[in-house]
Amino acid sequence: MIRSATSGPQPRNLSLDALKIVMAMMVVGLHAGFLRDVHPGLSHFFTNGLFRVAVPTFLVINGYFLERQLDQGLGAWVRRVALLYGLWMAIYAPLWLPGALAVPSFGREVLLFGYYHLWYLLALLLGGLLVAALRPAGETVLVAVGALTFAAGVGIQYAGNLHLFDGPLDQSLNRVHTYRNFLFMGVPFLICGVLVARHEGRLARLGSGRMLALALGLLAAEWSANMIWNRDDPVFEIFVSLAIVCPVLFLTVKGWQLRGSSRSLGQLATALYLVHVAVLHFTYDVEMGDTLRTLVGLAIGSLVAVPVVLAARRVPLL
């Protein structure tokens, strides 16, 4: 979601920007409970299955461009992401600060992981720093760290959902921040993007409609298995199959090569992601179904995102 720190107009693949729009819409639907009031089973497939591809794919995209950014130096990228995170934490302060002051445990959680969806920016920042630090160690180290952190995150999540342990350990494993953080989600998918950037020529053949259909089939199968074998607690943030789905989705869409120079579409996707939680927050005071809430969130969020994109020309909001 974060654009390169380099200056001047750069040729862009607008198909990736279109993908970002779709993924931002997925995140809105996930948080609003799309179709939950119409068909709970179908809603579960979307909100706890298909829509889970969005954030890891954002990370793969960021990792892909981070690899090129690191060749030019890390300082500008770090300053930009850190400033972006700080600004949006300040913008959202009216929503999180009262609770943080009233409940110390919530305050510590916000301090360590960021508020709600802003965890992504903190994970991007810290994950990017770790990837940059590991880069001189060589590709074997990157692959090993990516595989180990991904396996650890998935393992923690499955152990928690299956309740393999009792008491405080089980409670800790089932806290979302235990596995959805910069180390267990940010780092592996950023490394995936870095590796795609390095071996794009050899991996390009994976970017096809057939491969994407097969990858999505794996995701659907894993979701189905969880629903059958763990129906009491089938909600997952990270699926094993996402390690295949996300890079294949990225390579497939990138291969469409719709070229342009405007950043507006990509910025609109980032703005929608950043503002949608505030928009949804105010819809909770109005009686409406979750599907309508999703549509309202998308419509109003998109409208609010436009002035954010315009303001970003003067203030580093995106």
Name the DSSP class of 52: G
CB atoms within 10 A of CB 37: 15
Residue 212 has pLDDT above 90, yes or no: yes
Q: What is the pLDDT of residue 13?
A: 84
**Confidence grade of residue 9 (pLDDT, cut at 50, 70, 90):** low
Mean pLDDT of the chain: 94
Residue 18 region by backbone torsions, left for phi larger than 0, else alpha for psi between -120 and 50, else beta? alpha
pTM to 2 decimals? 0.94
Tokens representing 152 are 């650890």
Q: What is the pLDDT of residue 124?
A: 98
Q: What is the pLDDT of residue 234?
A: 77
Residue 102 has pLDDT above 60, yes or no: yes
Q: Are 189 and 250 in contact (CB under 8 A)?
A: no
Residue 11 has pLDDT above 90, yes or no: no
Residue 285 has pLDDT above 50, yes or no: yes
Domain ranges of the chain: 12-47+262-318, 60-257
Mean pLDDT, residues 221-245: 91
Q: What is the pLDDT of residue 103?
A: 95
Q: What is the pLDDT of residue 266?
A: 94
Please indicate whether residue 234 or residue 297 has the higher confidence score (pLDDT).
297
Mean pLDDT, residues 91-112: 96
Q: Are 290 and 30 in contact (CB under 8 A)?
A: no
Tokens representing 57 are 């794919």
Q: Are 237 and 157 in contact (CB under 8 A)?
A: yes
CB atoms within 10 A of CB 43: 20
Of 209, 192, 205, nearest to 243 by C-alpha is 192
Q: What is the pLDDT of residue 7?
A: 46
Q: What is the pLDDT of residue 6?
A: 45
